[in-house]
Amino acid sequence: MLTGQTPFHAENYEGWARQHQTTPPQPPSALRPELASWQGLDALTLRLLAKDREDRPKDVAELVGLLDAVRYLPLDEYGETEIEGRTDSLGQKVAGTSPKIIYRWGIWNGLLVGGFILAVLTILFGLHRSQQKMNSVTQTPPVVQTQPSIADIDKDIAIGSKACDEGDRLKCDGLGYLYESGSYGVVKDIGKARQFYRKSCSLGGKLSCDTLKKWDANEPKPASVEEAAKLTWTDPVTGLTWTKKDNGGDVTWQQATDYCRNLQLAGHSGWRLATIDELQGIYDPNANVNGHDHVKGNLQLSGWEWSSTQYNVNASRGAWAFGFSIFGQHPFFLDDLRDDRALCVRGSANQSGSSAVKPASVVPATIRGGGAESEALTWTDPATRMMWTKKDNGSDVTWQQATNYCRKLQLVGQSNWRLATIDELQGIYDPNTHVKGNIQLDGWEWSSSPGNESGEAWIFLFLTGKRFSFPFNNSNNNHALCVRGPGQ
Spell out the per-residue pLDDT of the chain, length 488, in tens: 667 777 777 665 556 666 666 778 888 878 778 777 777 778 878 887 787 777 778 777 777 777 777 777 765 444 443 334 444 444 444 444 444 444 444 555 555 656 666 665 565 555 555 555 444 444 444 444 455 566 677 778 888 888 898 999 888 988 888 888 877 667 777 778 888 998 999 998 888 898 888 877 765 554 455 666 788 999 998 999 999 999 988 888 999 999 999 888 888 888 999 998 899 899 888 887 666 678 899 899 888 899 998 865 444 568 888 888 766 677 778 888 778 899 999 987 443 333 333 333 333 333 334 444 466 788 999 999 999 999 998 888 899 999 999 998 888 777 889 999 999 999 999 988 889 998 988 789 999 999 999 999 999 999 888 999 999 998 888 899 999 987 55
Tell me: do 160 and 69 sit in the same domain: no
Tell me: do 318 and 378 sit in the same domain: no
DSSP 8-state class, residue 395 = S
Whether 365 maps to a domain, the answer reads no
Whether 383 maps to a domain, the answer reads yes
Tell me: do 168 and 126 sit in the same domain: no
Q: Which of 323, 355, 387 is the last residue of a domain?
A: 355
Task: Identify the CATH number of the domain in which residue 277 sits.
Answer: 3.10.100.10
Cα of first residue to Cα of last residue in the chain, in angstroms, is 86
Whether 367 maps to a domain, the answer reads no
Tell me: do 79 and 169 sit in the same domain: no
Q: Is the C-alpha dihedral spanning 347, 351, 353, 358 positive or negative?
A: positive
pLDDT on residue 339: 83
Tell me: do 122 and 52 sit in the same domain: yes
> How far, in Å, CA of 464 to CA of 443, rounded?
12
Tell me: do 432 and 405 sit in the same domain: yes
Whether 2 maps to a domain, the answer reads no
211 in Cβ contact with 198 (< 8 Å): no
Burial class (CB in 10 A: 0-12, 13-18, 19+), 219: exposed
Report how many domains make up the chain.
4
Look up the domain containing 162 and give its range. Answer: 151-218
How far is residue 114 from each of residues 1, 210, 218, measured CA to CA in Å? 11, 42, 47
> How far, in Å, CA of 104 to CA of 186, rounded?
55
Q: How is the beta sheet containing 478-479 ordered, strand by strand?
A: 466-471, 456-461, 444-450, 478-479
One-letter identity of residue 91: G
Q: Which of 355, 383, 399 is the last residue of a domain?
A: 355
Tell me: do 191 and 257 sit in the same domain: no
pLDDT on residue 390: 92
Tell me: do 229 and 350 sit in the same domain: yes
How far is residue 196 from each of residues 20, 155, 370, measured CA to CA in Å? 21, 17, 53
> How far, in Å, CA of 389 to CA of 402, rounded?
14
> What's the pTM?
0.35
Strands 38-39 and 316-323: unpaired
184 in Cβ contact with 149 (< 8 Å): no
How far is residue 155 from each of residues 148, 151, 160, measured CA to CA in Å? 11, 6, 9
